[in-house]
Amino acid sequence: MTTVRTRFAPSPTGYLHIGGLRSALYAYLFAKKNGGDFILRIEDTDRERFVEGATELIYRTLKDVGMYWDEGPDVGGEYGPYIQSERKDMYLPYAEQLVREGKAYYCFCSKEELEQRREEATARGETFKYDKHCLHLSQEEIQEKLNAGVPYVIRQNIPESGEASFDDIIYGHIAVDCKDLDDTILIKADGMPTYNFANVIDDHTMGITHVMRGNEYLASTPKYNLLYEALGWEKPVYIHMTQIMRDAQHKLSKRDGDASYEDFTSKGYLKEAIVNYVALLGWNPGDDRERFTLDELIDAFSIKGMSKSPAIFDPNKLTWLNAEYIRDLSPQEFTSHALPYYEKAGIAHMDKDILSSILQPRVEIFSQIPEMVDFLANLDEEYSIELFTNKKSKTNPEVSRSVLEMVIPILEALPSWDTTLIHDTLISLAQEKEMKNGTLLWPIRIAMAGKQVTPGGAVEIAALLGREETLRRLKLGLSKL
């Protein structure tokens, strides 16, 4: 039985986009579910879009989420090299073989000539398609141009009649009329292969059994299959994935600046939540589960669950899922993720146990933390005394003044400053004065925070601020009243 071999073949043009991550994930899950191999190949022949350091970024992203490859540039394998530019010498011989067999041909048309024909076709209201002009050159004319060093490309000789077709696991049988296909360039003027040609050669020579990629390649696949047929090679199994859409009209696109994996992790999304959510963009487990570890995804993954319909990327759903993952962290894990944001907010010196207790139930993404706790580091001392009015707590400026006058000397006299003592002291005071807890605690919290909505109540805020800063803020609040 043939071993399943899938591949992820990204171009190093920047951060790994969500669509690319999903392509890698599905190829990885399918290979592992079927006891196969997952291959990483770097397709770097587009030197104009090449970004320095992007290859290392691809490695880091895949490793970060736990998708380790069985073969690739940095781990080797029997089918290397695994970087396309390092394979450049293998493509031309295949193209020349096709030329000898009449399945491809040298094209010497200049860019200017092609542009003129394109403009003429547009003027006639036609879609431009190369007219096979150079296919009809004699062998002597071709050799003369080659000897003279005239620049050329090698074009695929698409049949002028018949159909090109393939069967896709998701989309079924797809056929196109050959007369509608253009003679694709296989080798560019600089001697490098085009993406489509290199893709076919690499997939075959690396023994790829299942090609999983976005459905934007559905239109190109008939040409791919004509190449497989021309070279006498067995075709791989095709599995085209549905598009990921930003909304009903717009595709999620790296070129349009849509988010990458790095964008989300830098905002404080957990990698586990990102992978979990991306897995559900175009695949359904067949039950109502929404939470999966990577191992659970391998176990659950099935081609039958993949959809034809476009998947809408919903940031709100991802945020909800991320919040669920945050709730499941231990306090220590939460603190580890939150610490960079504590430092940014200027509160890294404060009690981490208290911070995790008040923030973990509320944070959906870690980047929310600085805004949520801004008052701890810097009180907006210009806050309005209207904040002291709260119908539910039955407070107003007058009530608040009496509370602060009563509380300040009692807190000043505490023998130590800890959460339990602060809590017990304030609650006992409320009971003694026959006040609702909220009536006592509301003015204290407003004076310390200068805002109505805060993570944590008066006791936690006081413990975080410390005795000196708490009393300073309470006295400032009293002076306003």
- Please give the Cα distance from 258 to 18 (Å, whole number): 8
- Please give the Cα distance from 275 to 264 (Å, whole number): 11
Fold of 5-82+244-312: Rossmann fold (3.40.50)
Architecture of the domain whose range is 87-241: 3-Layer(aba) Sandwich (3.40)
**What is the structure's pLDDT at 113?**
94
**What is the structure's pLDDT at 49?**
78
User: Which amino acid type is present at position 169?
Assistant: I
To the question of domain 385-480 being in CATH 1.10.10.350, the answer is yes
Model confidence over 420-468: pLDDT tens digits?
999 999 999 999 999 999 999 999 999 999 999 999 999 999 999 999 9
> Which token pair is 244?
């990921």
- Please give the Cα distance from 423 to 463 (Å, whole number): 10
**What is the structure's pLDDT at 291?**
95
What 3 state SS string does the chain have? CCCCEEEECCCCCCCCEHHHHHHHHHHHHHHHHCCCEEEECECCCCCCCCCCCHHHHHHHHHHHHCCCCCEECCCECCCCCCEHHHHHHHHHHHHHHHHHCCCEEEECCCHHHHHHHHHHHHHCCCCCCCCCHHHHCCHHHHHHHHHCCCCCEEEECCCCCCEEEEEECCCEEEEEEHHHCCCCEEECCCCCECHHHHHHHHHHHCCCCEEEEEHHHCCCHHHHHHHHHHHCCCCCEEEEECCEECCCCCECCCCCCCCEHHHHHHCCCCHHHHHHHHHCCCECCCCCCCCCCHHHHHHHCCHHHECCCCEECCHHHHHHHHHHHHHCCCHHHHHHHHHHHHHHHCCCCCCHHHHHHHHCCCCCCHHHHHHHCHHHHCCCCCCCHHHHCECCCCECHHHHHHHHHHHHHHHHCCCCCCHHHHHHHHHHHHHHCCCCHHHHHHHHHHHHHCCCCCCCCHHHHHHHHHHHHHHHHHHHHHHHC
Query: Helix 315-327 and helix 271-279: axis angle, to 10°?
Result: 130
- Which residues of the chain, if any, have pLDDT below 70? 253-258
> CATH topology of 87-241 equal to that of 385-480?
no
Contact (Cβ atoms closer than 8 angstroms) between residue 407 and residue 413:
no
> Which token pair is 29?
């899950």
**What is the structure's pLDDT at 51?**
78
List CB contacts of 35: < 8 A, sequence separation 6 or more.
3, 4
- Please give the Cα distance from 274 to 285 (Å, whole number): 17
Active-site residues: which are they? 254
Domain definitions of the chain by residue range:
5-82+244-312, 87-241, 329-365, 385-480
